[in-house]
Structure 1
Amino acid sequence: MYFIQPTRDIPYLDQVLDALPSVQMIHIEDLDLYDPTIIAIADVADYLHYKWTIPTIVLAFEHEGAALAQAWQQGALAGWVWDHIPTNLQDALSQIDAQYKRNQDSRDLPSAAELQKRLLPNPIELKNYKIETFFQPSAYLSGDWYDYWKLNDKEIIFYLADVSGHGVTSSLLTSWMAAFHGRSKTPRELIKKLNGMLVQENIEKHITMIAGTLNLETHVLKWSSAGHYPPAILFEPGLPARILNTSSFPLGLTEDLEVEEFECQLNRYTRFVICSDGALEPFDGGLNEQLGQLVYHLQNQSFQAPDHVADDIAILSIRRIN
């Protein structure tokens, strides 16, 4: 921490400095040279006069209650009296520092959320096909993710993943996947590589996902699942929806992950839809009842997420339009 040399005479200055042997004394005119994220301790009169933005604990005389109140309104972290500083000073400073860091993390979340959304794929033009997506985090950052990209002029690859839990760690794994995917050419290869890295790094998270490729000329779609629920759903005009059930483990649980590959043909106006389990949350009942309602609303294109959701929601739909 910093201690900013007061510009007025403080009779208790030496007493306070003796209680703070680890602080670095700096001068007001040199503030621009120091780290603006490190907490400073300063006289309240200087803080109010110079209006710096460094996080600051202010010290005042007993009769300067109004100045302390003004300092708090200006953003001071805490206020003490020069000759009555906390008895256990180091604990008090540690608590203020921890609270400040938590508050900084909270203020950073909207910016982090915006950066995460920018990592989502941009729309791509595809011959005979349209990709449609829905993305709604339950908080600022999401542990659900989808991506798609062209392998060549004839094929695309895609995936939708759901990282266990919520918060920063889960969202970081989605960014990690976004940076990693370009080296894989098949769904099985993508799942195997991600699983190997999760197990090797011993990250206490698991990931469920569905990954697939689509040949834009033959209309053959191949996909693999890693413990993902709900399963992929196929909507074909005039036919009942097909639930494409599979059985496998999520990523990150075992090195010996068996990955099966399935395939289907997408006829005209057929949709292949994959969702995260948060898409079930708007509906009542057990999993089977929730899945039935989800299928109904997806088939009728009437799915609507509530404004506030308990779990992240991601939906990726691939629709043949010709």
Structure 2
Amino acid sequence: MYFIQPTRDIPHLDQVLDTLPSVQMIRIEDLHLYDPTIIAIADVQDYLTHQWTLPTIALALEDEGLALAAAWEQGALAGWIWSKLPSNPQKALIKIDAKYKRNQDSRDLPSAAELQKKLLPNPIELLNYKIETLFQPSAYLSGDWYDYWKISDKEVMFYLADVSGHGVTSSLLTSWMAAFHGRSKNPRELIKKLNGMLVQENIEKHITMIAGILNIETHHLRWSSAGHYPPAILFEKDQEPRILTTSSFPLGLTEDLEVEEFECQLKPNARFIICSDGALEPFDGGLNEQLRQLVHHLQNQSFQAPEHVADDIAILSLRRIN
């Protein structure tokens, strides 16, 4: 941390410096040379006069309560009295620094959210098919993710994943998946590779996902599930919706993950839809009732995510258009 040399005489200056041996003394005129993210300790009058942007702990004399109040309004992290430092100033500094860094992380979240969204796949033109998606985080960052990409002129690979928990760690895993997937050529291989890396790195998270591959010429679809709920749903014209239930473990729990592969044929106007479990949250009732209502709204194309959601929502739909 920095200690900005006061421009006025301070009776207790030497005593304060003796209790803070690890700080680096700097001069006001040199502030532009130093890291603007490191906390500075400074006299309150200098802080109010020069109004620098460094995060600052302001020190005041005992009769300068109004000056301390003004410093807080100006953005000071804390206010101390020159002659009455905290009983353990080093420990107090560590706490203030940790709180400041947490606040900085929070301020960075909107930018991080924009970067995460930029990792989502760009729309691709497909003969006979349209890919439709919905992505709505519950906070700034999402632990739900989807991706799709061409692996040949005839085949498209896709997946939708749900990382356990919320927040930065879960969102980092979605970014990791976005960077990793390109080396896999079929759903089972993708799931097995992701599972192996999660188990090997001992990351205390698990991931559920559905991954699939579609041949846009033959309309043949193959997919695999790793403990994902809700299951995939198939909508066909003039037919009842089909809930494509599977049974398996999520990624990251065991090395010996058994991955089944399923297949179906997409008829004209058919829709194959996969969702994260956040898509169930807008509906009341138990899981079965929530799933029933979700299927109803997806079938009628009336699903609308609430403006504020308790869980991340991601939906990926493959629609055959002729």
Q: TM-score range by the shorter chain?
A: over 0.9
Listed as ranges, the matches of 1:1-322 within 5 Å are: 1-322=1-322
- Worse overlay, 67-76 or 223-232: 67-76
Deviation, 1:70, is 1.6
Deviations 1:206-254 (A, max 9, x none): 1000000111111111101011000000000100000111111110011
SS in 2 for 1:70: helix
Alpha-carbon distance in structure 2 between the residues aligned to 1:135 and 1:161: 12
2:234 partner letter: L
Q: Percent identity?
A: 84
TM superposition shift of 1:82? 1.4
- Runs (4+) of structure 1 exceeding 3 A deviation are none
Distance 1:75 1:179 in 2: 40
TM-score by length of 1: 0.98
**SS at structure 1 position matched to 2:109:** helix
- Provide, for residues 8-30 of structure 1, a one-character-per-residue CA deviation record: whole Å limited to 9, x for no partner: 22121101101111111111222
C-alpha separation in 1, matches of 2:57 and 2:191: 51
Q: In 2, distance between residues paired with 1:38 and 1:190?
A: 43
Q: How far does the alpha carbon of each residue in 1:107-153 deviate from its partner, in whole angstroms, 9 at most, with x for none? A: 11111111111111111111111000011111111110000011111
Using the TM superposition, give the Cα deviation of residue 62 of structure 1 relative to its aligned residue in structure 2, in angstroms. Answer: 2.2
Note the C-alpha offset of 1:91: 2.3
State the number of aligned residues: 322
In the alignment, the residues of structure 1 paired with residue 221 and residue 29 of structure 2 have an alpha-carbon distance, to the nearest angstrom, of 66
- The more displaced of 99-108 and 82-91 is 82-91
Tell me how far apart the structure 2 counterparts of residues 122 and 46 of structure 1 sit (CA, whole Å).
Answer: 52
SS at match of 1:121: coil
Aligned AA (1:162): D
Q: Report the Cα distance in structure 2 between the residues aligned to 1:197 and 1:46, rounded to whole angstroms.
A: 54
SS at match of 2:85: coil
> Equivalents in 2 of 1:309, 1:72: separation in Å?
35
Q: Deviations over 1:137-178 (max 9, x none)?
A: 111111100000111111110000000111111111000000
Q: In structure 1, list runs of 5 or more residues that go unmatched.
A: none
